[in-house]
Amino acid sequence: MDENIISVRALTKQYQTSQASGINDISFDIVSGQIVAIIGESGSGKSTLLKTMFGLLKADSGEVLYRGNRVLGPDEQLIPGHKEMKIVTQDFSLNIYAKVYDNIASMLSNTDVKSKQEKTIAMMEHLHISHLSQKKITELSGGEQQRVAIARALVSDTQVLLLDEPFSQVDALLKNQLRADIKRIVADTGVTVIMVSHDPADGLFLADKLLLIQDGKLIQIGKPEYIYNNPEHIYTARLLGNAVVLNHQQALDLGIHTKAETIVFYPEWAELKNAWNSKRFAVKDVYYKGFYEELLLERNGVLIRAIQLNSGTHKKNDHVQVNIGRFLEF
Protein backbone atom coordinates (compact mmCIF):
# COMPACT_ATOMS: atom_id res chain seq x y z
CA MET A 1 0.00 0.00 0.00
CA ASP A 2 1.20 3.53 -0.74
CA GLU A 3 2.49 5.18 2.37
CA ASN A 4 2.01 8.86 3.19
CA ILE A 5 5.48 10.17 3.91
CA ILE A 6 4.29 13.74 4.53
CA SER A 7 0.95 14.88 5.88
CA VAL A 8 0.14 18.56 6.12
CA ARG A 9 -2.79 19.34 8.41
CA ALA A 10 -4.59 22.71 8.44
CA LEU A 11 -1.30 24.56 8.13
CA THR A 12 -1.57 28.33 8.61
CA LYS A 13 1.19 30.91 8.65
CA GLN A 14 0.39 34.61 8.41
CA TYR A 15 2.95 37.40 8.40
CA GLN A 16 2.26 40.17 10.89
CA THR A 17 3.48 42.91 8.60
CA SER A 18 1.25 42.38 5.59
CA GLN A 19 -2.44 41.65 5.21
CA ALA A 20 -3.74 38.49 3.55
CA SER A 21 -0.27 37.03 3.15
CA GLY A 22 1.31 33.70 3.93
CA ILE A 23 -0.72 30.48 3.81
CA ASN A 24 -4.13 29.62 5.17
CA ASP A 25 -5.53 26.27 6.36
CA ILE A 26 -3.66 24.03 3.92
CA SER A 27 -4.02 20.22 4.14
CA PHE A 28 -2.74 17.44 1.88
CA ASP A 29 -0.83 14.14 1.89
CA ILE A 30 2.22 13.10 -0.10
CA VAL A 31 2.95 9.51 -0.98
CA SER A 32 6.54 8.29 -0.74
CA GLY A 33 8.58 8.49 -3.96
CA GLN A 34 6.45 11.16 -5.61
CA ILE A 35 7.51 14.42 -7.19
CA VAL A 36 5.16 17.13 -6.02
CA ALA A 37 5.20 20.62 -7.50
CA ILE A 38 3.72 23.63 -5.70
CA ILE A 39 2.44 26.00 -8.38
CA GLY A 40 1.00 29.48 -8.02
CA GLU A 41 1.48 33.04 -9.14
CA SER A 42 4.10 35.25 -7.55
CA GLY A 43 3.25 36.05 -3.94
CA SER A 44 0.66 33.25 -3.66
CA GLY A 45 2.49 31.61 -0.73
CA LYS A 46 4.54 28.82 -2.34
CA SER A 47 7.80 29.52 -0.52
CA THR A 48 5.97 30.14 2.73
CA LEU A 49 4.36 26.70 2.44
CA LEU A 50 7.68 25.00 1.67
CA LYS A 51 9.55 26.74 4.50
CA THR A 52 6.78 26.10 7.02
CA MET A 53 6.65 22.44 6.02
CA PHE A 54 10.37 22.15 6.65
CA GLY A 55 10.18 23.88 10.01
CA LEU A 56 12.15 26.95 8.94
CA LEU A 57 9.11 29.13 9.69
CA LYS A 58 6.91 28.73 12.73
CA ALA A 59 3.32 27.81 11.85
CA ASP A 60 0.52 29.80 13.51
CA SER A 61 -1.54 26.62 13.61
CA GLY A 62 -1.76 23.20 12.05
CA GLU A 63 1.01 20.66 11.72
CA VAL A 64 3.31 18.79 9.37
CA LEU A 65 3.89 15.08 9.90
CA TYR A 66 6.87 13.13 8.57
CA ARG A 67 5.98 9.43 8.66
CA GLY A 68 3.46 10.27 11.35
CA ASN A 69 5.88 12.30 13.51
CA ARG A 70 5.40 16.02 13.88
CA VAL A 71 8.08 18.16 12.21
CA LEU A 72 9.24 20.59 14.87
CA GLY A 73 9.23 24.34 14.32
CA PRO A 74 12.16 26.75 14.73
CA ASP A 75 11.05 27.57 18.28
CA GLU A 76 11.23 23.92 19.27
CA GLN A 77 14.66 22.85 18.02
CA LEU A 78 17.95 24.37 16.90
CA ILE A 79 18.32 22.63 13.56
CA PRO A 80 15.10 22.86 11.61
CA GLY A 81 13.29 20.02 9.91
CA HIS A 82 13.75 16.33 10.35
CA LYS A 83 17.09 14.62 9.76
CA GLU A 84 15.68 12.72 6.79
CA MET A 85 14.29 15.91 5.21
CA LYS A 86 16.55 18.41 3.42
CA ILE A 87 15.83 21.73 1.77
CA VAL A 88 17.71 23.50 -1.01
CA THR A 89 16.87 27.18 -0.84
CA GLN A 90 17.73 29.77 -3.45
CA ASP A 91 20.92 30.81 -1.62
CA PHE A 92 22.20 27.18 -1.75
CA SER A 93 23.88 27.44 1.70
CA LEU A 94 27.20 26.02 0.47
CA ASN A 95 30.60 26.50 2.08
CA ILE A 96 31.99 28.76 -0.64
CA TYR A 97 35.63 28.34 0.44
CA ALA A 98 35.55 24.54 0.35
CA LYS A 99 35.83 22.29 -2.69
CA VAL A 100 32.82 20.62 -4.26
CA TYR A 101 33.84 17.18 -2.96
CA ASP A 102 34.21 18.44 0.61
CA ASN A 103 30.91 20.31 0.50
CA ILE A 104 29.14 17.04 -0.25
CA ALA A 105 31.28 14.71 1.89
CA SER A 106 30.90 16.96 4.94
CA MET A 107 27.26 15.90 5.19
CA LEU A 108 28.36 12.34 6.03
CA SER A 109 29.82 11.01 9.25
CA ASN A 110 33.47 9.96 9.55
CA THR A 111 32.73 6.59 11.08
CA ASP A 112 33.11 4.75 7.77
CA VAL A 113 35.58 6.67 5.61
CA LYS A 114 35.33 4.27 2.66
CA SER A 115 31.54 4.45 2.52
CA LYS A 116 31.71 8.25 2.88
CA GLN A 117 34.01 8.41 -0.14
CA GLU A 118 31.90 6.01 -2.21
CA LYS A 119 28.63 7.82 -1.47
CA THR A 120 30.14 11.22 -2.31
CA ILE A 121 31.56 9.98 -5.61
CA ALA A 122 28.30 8.25 -6.54
CA MET A 123 26.25 11.36 -5.79
CA MET A 124 28.58 13.55 -7.87
CA GLU A 125 28.14 11.11 -10.76
CA HIS A 126 24.36 11.19 -10.33
CA LEU A 127 24.34 14.95 -10.77
CA HIS A 128 27.03 15.09 -13.48
CA ILE A 129 29.43 17.13 -11.38
CA SER A 130 32.33 14.65 -10.99
CA HIS A 131 34.54 16.87 -13.16
CA LEU A 132 34.03 19.73 -10.68
CA SER A 133 35.08 17.67 -7.66
CA GLN A 134 38.25 19.66 -6.87
CA LYS A 135 36.89 23.10 -7.73
CA LYS A 136 35.96 25.68 -5.13
CA ILE A 137 32.35 26.84 -5.00
CA THR A 138 33.42 30.37 -5.95
CA GLU A 139 34.73 28.97 -9.25
CA LEU A 140 31.34 27.52 -10.25
CA SER A 141 28.45 28.96 -12.26
CA GLY A 142 25.05 29.39 -10.59
CA GLY A 143 23.74 26.23 -12.27
CA GLU A 144 26.76 24.21 -11.13
CA GLN A 145 26.34 25.48 -7.58
CA GLN A 146 22.71 24.42 -7.72
CA ARG A 147 23.72 20.86 -8.64
CA VAL A 148 26.23 20.75 -5.79
CA ALA A 149 23.53 21.97 -3.39
CA ILE A 150 21.18 19.19 -4.55
CA ALA A 151 23.96 16.56 -4.29
CA ARG A 152 24.79 17.80 -0.79
CA ALA A 153 21.15 17.64 0.26
CA LEU A 154 20.65 14.13 -1.09
CA VAL A 155 23.84 12.38 -0.02
CA SER A 156 22.94 11.64 3.60
CA ASP A 157 20.10 9.12 3.16
CA THR A 158 17.61 11.88 2.58
CA GLN A 159 14.02 10.71 2.20
CA VAL A 160 12.33 14.02 1.43
CA LEU A 161 13.98 16.75 -0.63
CA LEU A 162 12.42 20.20 -0.72
CA LEU A 163 13.52 22.43 -3.58
CA ASP A 164 12.79 26.15 -3.70
CA GLU A 165 12.96 27.26 -7.36
CA PRO A 166 15.45 24.55 -8.42
CA PHE A 167 15.78 25.88 -11.96
CA SER A 168 16.13 29.57 -11.22
CA GLN A 169 19.84 29.73 -11.99
CA VAL A 170 20.06 27.52 -15.06
CA ASP A 171 19.67 28.15 -18.77
CA ALA A 172 17.14 26.27 -20.90
CA LEU A 173 19.54 23.48 -21.88
CA LEU A 174 20.75 22.82 -18.34
CA LYS A 175 17.21 23.09 -17.05
CA ASN A 176 16.16 20.17 -19.26
CA GLN A 177 19.07 18.12 -17.99
CA LEU A 178 18.44 19.01 -14.35
CA ARG A 179 14.73 18.15 -14.74
CA ALA A 180 15.70 14.77 -16.22
CA ASP A 181 18.26 14.24 -13.45
CA ILE A 182 15.64 14.87 -10.78
CA LYS A 183 13.30 12.34 -12.43
CA ARG A 184 16.09 9.78 -12.63
CA ILE A 185 17.22 10.32 -9.04
CA VAL A 186 13.66 9.86 -7.80
CA ALA A 187 13.33 6.64 -9.84
CA ASP A 188 16.73 5.35 -8.63
CA THR A 189 16.54 6.29 -4.96
CA GLY A 190 12.83 6.55 -4.17
CA VAL A 191 13.38 9.97 -2.58
CA THR A 192 10.28 12.17 -2.36
CA VAL A 193 10.70 15.61 -3.94
CA ILE A 194 8.58 18.65 -3.13
CA MET A 195 9.43 21.63 -5.26
CA VAL A 196 8.31 25.18 -5.73
CA SER A 197 8.54 26.71 -9.15
CA HIS A 198 7.28 29.93 -10.65
CA ASP A 199 7.24 28.16 -14.04
CA PRO A 200 4.19 25.87 -14.26
CA ALA A 201 5.87 24.00 -17.14
CA ASP A 202 8.30 22.53 -14.58
CA GLY A 203 5.38 21.05 -12.67
CA LEU A 204 3.61 19.78 -15.78
CA PHE A 205 6.78 18.09 -16.99
CA LEU A 206 8.10 16.71 -13.72
CA ALA A 207 5.44 16.25 -11.13
CA ASP A 208 3.30 13.27 -10.21
CA LYS A 209 1.12 15.67 -8.30
CA LEU A 210 0.46 19.41 -8.59
CA LEU A 211 -0.61 21.63 -5.70
CA LEU A 212 -2.25 24.81 -6.95
CA ILE A 213 -1.95 27.73 -4.55
CA GLN A 214 -3.87 30.99 -4.83
CA ASP A 215 -3.76 33.76 -2.21
CA GLY A 216 -2.35 31.37 0.37
CA LYS A 217 -5.03 28.72 -0.16
CA LEU A 218 -4.79 25.29 -1.72
CA ILE A 219 -7.33 25.41 -4.55
CA GLN A 220 -6.69 22.14 -6.40
CA ILE A 221 -4.52 19.09 -6.07
CA GLY A 222 -4.02 16.24 -8.52
CA LYS A 223 -2.16 14.80 -11.47
CA PRO A 224 -0.80 17.40 -13.90
CA GLU A 225 -2.70 16.07 -16.91
CA TYR A 226 -5.98 15.90 -15.01
CA ILE A 227 -5.63 19.42 -13.60
CA TYR A 228 -4.64 20.85 -16.97
CA ASN A 229 -7.74 19.39 -18.60
CA ASN A 230 -10.08 19.88 -15.66
CA PRO A 231 -9.07 23.07 -13.85
CA GLU A 232 -11.53 24.03 -11.14
CA HIS A 233 -10.61 27.72 -11.39
CA ILE A 234 -9.94 30.11 -14.27
CA TYR A 235 -6.75 31.12 -12.43
CA THR A 236 -5.40 27.58 -12.89
CA ALA A 237 -6.14 27.44 -16.61
CA ARG A 238 -4.45 30.80 -17.10
CA LEU A 239 -1.45 29.77 -15.07
CA LEU A 240 -0.93 26.34 -16.63
CA GLY A 241 -1.80 26.98 -20.25
CA ASN A 242 -2.18 30.72 -20.79
CA ALA A 243 -5.88 30.05 -21.43
CA VAL A 244 -8.19 32.38 -23.35
CA VAL A 245 -11.03 33.68 -21.18
CA LEU A 246 -14.28 34.96 -22.74
CA ASN A 247 -17.41 36.31 -21.10
CA HIS A 248 -20.87 34.96 -21.92
CA GLN A 249 -21.64 37.53 -24.63
CA GLN A 250 -18.26 37.17 -26.30
CA ALA A 251 -18.75 33.40 -26.37
CA LEU A 252 -22.22 33.75 -27.95
CA ASP A 253 -20.82 36.13 -30.58
CA LEU A 254 -18.36 33.43 -31.55
CA GLY A 255 -21.18 30.93 -31.99
CA ILE A 256 -20.41 29.06 -28.79
CA HIS A 257 -23.63 27.80 -27.26
CA THR A 258 -23.27 28.13 -23.53
CA LYS A 259 -25.19 29.18 -20.45
CA ALA A 260 -21.99 29.78 -18.50
CA GLU A 261 -20.88 33.24 -17.34
CA THR A 262 -17.37 32.60 -18.61
CA ILE A 263 -15.78 30.15 -20.98
CA VAL A 264 -12.13 29.20 -21.08
CA PHE A 265 -10.04 27.36 -23.64
CA TYR A 266 -6.38 26.71 -24.30
CA PRO A 267 -4.99 28.07 -27.58
CA GLU A 268 -4.44 24.54 -28.85
CA TRP A 269 -8.17 23.82 -28.51
CA ALA A 270 -9.02 26.48 -31.11
CA GLU A 271 -9.02 24.67 -34.45
CA LEU A 272 -8.08 26.53 -37.60
CA LYS A 273 -10.42 24.96 -40.07
CA ASN A 274 -13.19 25.56 -42.52
CA ALA A 275 -16.44 24.27 -41.15
CA TRP A 276 -20.06 25.39 -41.12
CA ASN A 277 -19.77 26.49 -37.49
CA SER A 278 -16.34 28.15 -37.69
CA LYS A 279 -16.01 31.93 -37.55
CA ARG A 280 -13.71 34.20 -39.52
CA PHE A 281 -10.96 35.94 -37.57
CA ALA A 282 -8.29 38.43 -38.65
CA VAL A 283 -4.71 37.45 -37.83
CA LYS A 284 -3.41 40.40 -35.79
CA ASP A 285 0.01 38.94 -34.97
CA VAL A 286 2.07 35.79 -35.28
CA TYR A 287 4.49 34.75 -32.51
CA TYR A 288 7.22 32.36 -33.53
CA LYS A 289 7.73 29.68 -30.85
CA GLY A 290 10.14 27.29 -32.50
CA PHE A 291 8.24 24.22 -33.60
CA TYR A 292 4.89 26.06 -33.62
CA GLU A 293 3.47 29.54 -33.95
CA GLU A 294 0.92 31.28 -31.79
CA LEU A 295 -1.61 33.40 -33.65
CA LEU A 296 -3.30 36.41 -32.09
CA LEU A 297 -6.73 36.54 -33.70
CA GLU A 298 -9.47 39.16 -33.62
CA ARG A 299 -13.17 39.14 -34.44
CA ASN A 300 -15.57 41.98 -33.56
CA GLY A 301 -13.09 43.30 -31.01
CA VAL A 302 -12.63 39.93 -29.27
CA LEU A 303 -9.06 38.64 -29.11
CA ILE A 304 -8.23 34.95 -28.90
CA ARG A 305 -5.10 32.88 -29.43
CA ALA A 306 -4.62 29.72 -31.48
CA ILE A 307 -1.73 27.48 -32.44
CA GLN A 308 -0.48 26.60 -35.90
CA LEU A 309 2.05 23.82 -36.26
CA ASN A 310 3.08 24.49 -39.85
CA SER A 311 4.70 27.85 -39.55
CA GLY A 312 3.79 30.40 -42.21
CA THR A 313 0.45 28.78 -43.13
CA HIS A 314 -1.42 31.84 -41.90
CA LYS A 315 0.32 35.21 -41.83
CA LYS A 316 -0.41 38.60 -40.29
CA ASN A 317 -3.50 40.28 -41.85
CA ASP A 318 -4.78 36.96 -43.26
CA HIS A 319 -8.29 35.85 -42.40
CA VAL A 320 -8.79 32.41 -40.92
CA GLN A 321 -11.72 30.31 -39.87
CA VAL A 322 -11.66 29.15 -36.30
CA ASN A 323 -13.76 26.57 -34.55
CA ILE A 324 -13.60 26.45 -30.75
CA GLY A 325 -13.82 22.69 -30.60
CA ARG A 326 -13.49 22.35 -26.87
CA PHE A 327 -13.94 24.74 -23.95
CA LEU A 328 -14.53 24.80 -20.21
CA GLU A 329 -17.47 26.55 -18.55
CA PHE A 330 -17.25 28.59 -15.35
CB-nearer residue toward ligand ATP: 42 or 310 = 42
- Sheet containing 4-13, strands listed edge to edge, beginning at the edge strand earlier in sequence: 23-31, 4-13, 61-66, 69-70
**Residue 76 burial by CB count (10 A; 0-12/13-18/19+): exposed, middle or buried?**
exposed
Measured from the CB of residue 53, what is the shortest distance to ligand ATP in angstroms? Answer: 12
Task: Please tell me the chain's helix, strand, coil percentages from 3-state DSSP, rounded to the nearest 5.
Answer: 30, 30, 40
Q: What is the CA 315 to chain-centroid distance, rounded? A: 34
**Residue 236 burial by CB count (10 A; 0-12/13-18/19+): exposed, middle or buried?**
buried
Measured from the CB of residue 93, what is the shortest distance to ligand ATP in angstroms? Answer: 17
* Residues contacting residue 206 through CB under 8 Å, at least 6 positions apart: 35, 37, 179, 182, 183, 195
- Gap between the Cα atoms of 261 and 284, Å rounded: 26
CB-nearer residue toward ligand ATP: 22 or 231 = 22
Measured from the CB of residue 191, what is the shortest distance to ligand ATP in angstroms? Answer: 23
Measured from the CB of residue 86, what is the shortest distance to ligand ATP in angstroms? Answer: 19
Measured from the CB of residue 198, what is the shortest distance to ligand ATP in angstroms? Answer: 5
CB-nearer residue toward ligand ATP: 21 or 262 = 21
CB-nearer residue toward ligand ATP: 34 or 89 = 89
CB-nearer residue toward ligand ATP: 44 or 146 = 44
CB-nearer residue toward ligand ATP: 53 or 155 = 53
**Pairs from 21-25 (Cβ < 8 Å, separation ≥ 24):** 21/45, 21/48, 21/216, 22/48, 22/216, 23/48, 23/49, 23/52, 23/213, 23/216, 23/217, 24/215, 24/216, 24/217, 25/62, 25/217
Measured from the CB of residue 135, what is the shortest distance to ligand ATP in angstroms? Answer: 30
Instruction: Work out the number of other CB atoms within 10 angstroms of the CB of residue 49.
Output: 28
Contacts to ligand ATP by CB under 6 A: 15, 17-18, 21-22, 40, 42-48, 198
CB-nearer residue toward ligand ATP: 22 or 267 = 22
Measured from the CB of residue 41, what is the shortest distance to ligand ATP in angstroms? Answer: 7
